[in-house]
Structures are given as C-alpha cells and as structure tokens.
Structure 1
Amino acid sequence: MGLYSEEISNISNRASENLFDFAIVDEKKAEQTGYSNYSYWRSTWKSFLENRFAVFLLIVVLSIITFVIIQPYLPYQKSPTEIYIDEQTGSQARNIAPNAEFWFGTNSIGQDLWSRIWAGTRTSLLIGFIVALVEVIVGITIGAIWGFSRKLEAPITQVYNIVENIPTTIVLILMSYILRPSISTIIIAMCITGWVEMARFIRNQVVILRDREYNLASKCLGTPSSRIILKNLLPYLISIIMLRMSLAIPFAIGSEVFLTYIGLGLPISEPSLGNLVNEGRVLMMSPDLRYQLIFPSVVLSVITIAFYIIGNAFADAADPKNHV
C-alpha cells in the first residue's frame, strides 16, 4: 500500500511539473487594466449611418446651410432687397414668372425671389439655431439643478408653474409690441419660454436617476454634485437633449412664420421665410402667381421635416440603452 501511494505521488509531481508553472508576482502587470477601443460617439455615429434616409436628409440640410452661407458671394446673384426695373417698360419688374434672369421670378414690387428665399432661409436658420442653443444651455442647467437639488426643487417648481401657464403666443405678441420688430426681438421672445419644456424633461429624467446606487455611492465618497450631474446623469440624457434641440430649430422657424402671419414678425424689408410665405399666401388664389408661395413653402417644409427626422434618428442612435 505504501509503495502504491508513493508511486501515485511521484506521478502527480511529474504531472505538476509538466502542466503547471508557479505564478511570478509582477507589480507592473498587476496595475494593467483591460483595454477596449470602444467609443460611444463612434458607436452612435455608426448606428446613425445605418438609417439611410436620415443620412440623406442630413446631407440635404448641410448642403442648404452651406449654400445659404456662400450664396451672396456666388456670381450672377442679385440683391434680395433691390427693386429691379423692367428695361422695356421702365417700371418695376413686378410678378415676373421664373426665367433665365430671375430664376424664381419676382415678387409684387420687383424684387428677385431667388435671392430673397435664400436670404430668408439664412435669417430663419439663424433664429432657429440661436433659440435652440439658448434653450439647450438654459434648459439643461435649470433642469439638472431642479431635479438634483431637493432644496431648490420647490422654488424652481413655482417659477416653472408661472412661466408654463403663460401662453407662448402671448409672450411673443407682447415682446413684439414692447420692442421694435427685429431678429433680436423674436429671439428674446422665444427664449423667454423656450427653455421650459427642456428643463421639465431633464428634471424628470434626473429625478429617476439621481437615487440609483452608483450615485449614492458617489455621494458617500464625497464626489461634488456638479461632477455627479456631468459624469453620472447627463450622459444618459444625450438622446433627449439631441431630440429637443433638433425640434427647437423648426419650432423657432414656425414661430417666426406665425408671428409674420399675424403681422408681428420681422419688417418686410428683412427677408425671412415667414415674410415670404405670408406674401405668397396673399397671391395663392392666382394660378400665375402661386410660385411665390410654392418656392418658400418647399424650402420651409424640407428644413422642418429634415430636422425632425434627423433628430429622431440621432436620438435613437445616441440612446445609451442601444449601446452595449
């Protein structure tokens, strides 16, 4: 029995020597962590590119933005505010149908509609982007503080209730009466109430996330509240932020069109999509002059629909739940 046990032990020792090696302690290797080349934004962009229609609309929007910026510097471009004279009659070139000289025709006082449409698009996009930027900055800041700080929750809620119950249309009308109608007036009027919806969305999401285990652990470790908001909470809200920002741009353009429709928009001398649509609306019953409504309406529709679809597609692609 003893010889048998000794033989088994010798076999085990030889197997151990052949199959296993003793681990050597290496402090440098112990400090090394696993490496991953995963990138959230690269993954988001890759997911967005899978939506072919959204990518196509993004190219269209970028092309329009690029064109409206460089359009005044291109050759053979006319002034959007100059009144042109018909050389044959010596009078204003009124309501001329699209031709080789006036690509989109002229309006009722002889201004070139092609240049006015792109100048108006430039104005409306400027308003939309500024309003969207202010809405995002103010809305995210107030919404994050509103949802995270229990001390400030009650006063911010009261401010929200006051602003939310004031109709946006009333604010736009009052600001247009108080201040001189201009681009800055419309921007200020839209920004007064524009942040409310964004702040409410952010607040609701922060309330859901703030008491999760990893945030409570961060608080116990003494992590500043600002860092918890920026690192732990807002990354989960990127999809909502992008969606709200993309919707703010067409909403601002639509509000400018509405103000012009009720007579409180930009001056007629300032080309905008609102002014152009309003001018064309008066002439829509005349078949020969409908082009003055069709051209600006098509540009307005393409921009608003494109931003809506792109915003939804990017929000889905940026949603952390869709990332592994």
Structure 2
Amino acid sequence: MFKRACSRQLETQLNTLQKDGPAAWAALPEEELFTPAGFSSQQAEATASTSYSYWGSTFRAFFKNKLAVALLAALAAVVVFAFAQPLLPGQADPNLCAVDPATGIQYRNIAPGQQGFLWGSNSIGQDLWARIWAGARTSLTIAFFVAVIEAAVGITAGVLWGYVRGLDFVFTELYNIFDNIPTAIVLILISYVATPSIWTMILGMSIKGWIEMARFIRNQILIIRDRDYNVASRCIGTPTLRIVLRNLLPYLVSVIMLRMALTIPEAIGNEVFITYIGLGLSVETPSLGNLVNDGRKVMMQAGLRYQLLYPTLILSFVTIAFYLIGNAFSDAADPKNHLQ
C-alpha cells in the first residue's frame, strides 16, 4: 500500500515543475513521487462500525418537529394534572352538590370565578372544575385501555393473518363480518345488554376496533414476509417467533404507533357520542361525554355557555394533540426518514 507524499525536495522544485509542465513530472523517478506507507497488522484487522440506533434516530427526528414537541409537553401536562388534581389541597368532590349555608339553596349555575367556583357550577351546584378533570380522567382511562387492547389483539391477529397463509381465509371472513357492523350499533347493543360502566364501554369499543389494527399489520406483513433475509432466516431454521419479533415487527413500529395514537381520540369521541344519545355512563361517573351532553342542553343561554365551552376545550385539545403527535412520531419512526 502506497500513499502519495511530497518530499522536501519536491517542495523546493515545485516552481520549476510548474514552469516546465507535465514533462518535468514524468521525468522524476518513481521513488521521489511515492513513499511506502508501511504495513500495520492492527490497522489491517480494524473494521468500520456505525453508531446508528433506531430509537435514537427516531427520537432525534421527532424532536426536530417543534410543533409536535410543544404539543407533547402540553398534553403530558394536561394528563398528569388530570390524574394529580384530586391529590391537590382544596379540591372539591366532583359529585358534591354545594349548598349556600346562608340560604340552604344549591349554588346553581354560578358563573366562573364567583363563590369560589373557578370554572363555575352546573344546575345542581356541582363544581365544574372538579367534574371536568374527573371526566378527563375517566375518558383518558377508557381510551388508554381501548388502545392497549386493540394493539395487543390487533398485532397478534395481524401477524397470524399475514404470516400464516392457512389463516388468511379465516381472518378475511372475520374482517368482512366485523367491518360491516357499524361501531355505533355495537356500542348501543352493549349498552342495552350490560349496565353502562367504564369496563362496559371499553369492551364495546374493543370488540371491533382490533380488526382495523390487524388489517394494517397484515398488509405490511405481506409486503416484507418473503424478502430475502426472511427467506434466509426460515432456511437456516430460525424460530417463527424470533423472525416475527426481530425481522418483521421492527418495521411496523410507525404503523403501530400511528394506529394507537389515533385510537385514543377515536375512543374519546365514541364515548362522547354514546353519552350524547343517552346510553353512556351514569351521571355519578363524570366523563367528558357527560359534561358535553350537559353543556349542550344549556348552550342556547348566553350566560351558561361556559358549561359547554370548558369541557369542549379539553376534549378538543386532547383529541387534536394525540392525532398530530401520533402522525409526527409515525413519520419519525419510519426507517426511510432516518438519514445518516
């Protein structure tokens, strides 16, 4: 191995060589133009490596999106405060109907900021501040469990649907059946059959929600199932579970994260809808659906519109934030967007 090196002699002759042109360079002996670089056994055995990390690259790409980062910080603050609010001092019971000790009459429809009600009270004297945060906790809990159940069942079914060829017909027929049943019908039937509760709502939303996740996973599995590295893995006897966990699922992180992020606002919206038609949670269980439905009844009275405004703001922010953050993280998790 040789490297080109300029000796001191060449440096002193540089001006002369430039004047004489290429002929002068050709006249120089080879030993004056090149010097041996030498051999090193350590350098010969050295190998190159990369510091690439999938998750590191994913988070770097995500944090470049300033809007998504700001929304994530704000959403995290809202979620943490919703669950920490009952632990703060001076918080009212969301189901307590406050009564004026002087008159013995309930504090009905008190405007925000008056009589100690930060966000006002409703028609039976309940503190809207406490009820809205209690409703946010309920709706977020429902949405979280629905997303987890849909992910667990949907990923498992989607991998089997796409990887095991013999199950394709079975899952295809299941998909055709579930996909043609409207979600509203399922929620209404569950509400009639069982007593409305948090777990009833979770069950009703999860019954057919997993099929969409399974379809997404199945379509992606079909694309990458027979690529060369997967065929090679099967040929050398790699267990199927290892192929799925190491070769297939890492490519589907972006799809899974996007679907889970969209499931949360969808579940909150379904809870609001089923409550809107009178089949949701009881009034003893505050939820954003209950609060929006109560506010809808008084929205035509100018002085009482705050009862619809505040829960709607929380509901809108949570759903929009989850949607935008999910899309941003999905793009960041796509390996095609990881540049070295």
Q: Deviations over 1:44-103 (max 9, x none)?
A: 111111111111110111001110111001111111001100233211111111125000
Most deviating of 91-100 and 138-147: 91-100
Secondary structure of residue in 2 paired with 1:152: helix
- 1:310 aligned onto 2:313: no
What RMSD over aligned residues (CA atoms) do the two structures have, in Å?
Answer: 1.9
Map 1:288-299; keep pairs closer than 5 Å.
288-299=303-314
Partner of 1:65: 79
Partner of 1:19: 36
Partner of 1:200: 215
Map 1:70-85; keep pairs closer than 5 Å.
70-85=84-99
Most deviating of 192-201 and 214-223: 214-223
Q: What TM-score comes out, normalization by structure 1 length?
A: 0.91
**Percent identity for Structure 1 against Structure 2:** 58
Could you tell me how far 1:160 is from its partner in structure 2? 1.7
Q: What TM-score comes out, normalization by structure 2 length?
A: 0.87
Partner of 2:141: 126
Q: Aligned letter for 1:77?
A: Q
Partner of 2:67: 53
Change over 3 Å in CA distance of 1:234–1:292 after alignment to 2: same
How far apart, CA to CA, are the structure 1 residues paired with 2:259 and 2:44?
46
Aligned mate of 1:184, from 172, 175, 199: 199
Aligned mate of 1:300, from 315, 326, 332: 315
Partner of 1:6: none
Secondary structure of residue in 1 paired with 2:165: coil
Partner of 2:56: 42
Could you tell me how far 1:22 is from its partner in structure 2? 5.4
Could you tell me how far 1:23 is from its partner in structure 2? 6.2
How far apart, CA to CA, are the structure 1 residues paired with 2:239 and 2:44?
32
Partner of 1:8: none
Aligned mate of 2:184, from 169, 177, 185: 169
Most deviating of 280-289 and 98-107: 98-107
Most deviating of 198-207 and 80-89: 80-89
Partner of 1:97: 111
Secondary structure of residue in 2 paired with 1:174: helix
How far apart, CA to CA, are the structure 2 residues paired with 1:213 and 1:272?
51
In the alignment, structure 1 segments of 5+ residues that lack a partner are: 1-10
Task: Indicate if the aligned counterparts of 2:61 and 2:338 stay in contact, CA closer than 8 A.
Answer: no
Partner of 1:321: 336
- 1:155 aligned onto 2:136: no
Partner of 1:223: 238
How far apart, CA to CA, are the structure 2 residues paired with 1:104 and 1:29?
73
Q: Aligned letter for 1:197?
A: E
* Bigger CA radius of gyration: 2
How far apart, CA to CA, are the structure 2 residues paired with 1:20 and 1:96?
88
Could you tell me how far 1:37 is from its partner in structure 2? 2.1
How far apart, CA to CA, are the structure 2 residues paired with 1:119 and 1:226?
42
Partner of 1:7: none
Q: Aligned letter for 1:235?
A: P
Could you tell me how far 1:29 is from its partner in structure 2? 7.9
How far apart, CA to CA, are the structure 2 residues paired with 1:96 and 1:289?
9
How far apart, CA to CA, are the structure 2 residues paired with 1:286 and 1:252?
30
Partner of 1:233: 248
- 1:262 aligned onto 2:277: yes
How far apart, CA to CA, are the structure 2 residues paired with 1:292 and 1:87?
24
How far apart, CA to CA, are the structure 1 residues paired with 2:158 and 2:111?
51
How far apart, CA to CA, are the structure 1 residues paired with 2:232 and 2:246?
14
Change over 3 Å in CA distance of 1:88–1:232 after alignment to 2: same
Could you tell me how far 1:146 is from its partner in structure 2? 0.4
Could you tell me how far 1:263 is from its partner in structure 2? 0.7
How far apart, CA to CA, are the structure 2 residues paired with 1:140 and 1:266?
29
How far apart, CA to CA, are the structure 1 residues paired with 2:143 and 2:283?
19
Q: Deviations over 1:208-246 (max 9, x none)?
A: 111111111111111122211111111111111111000
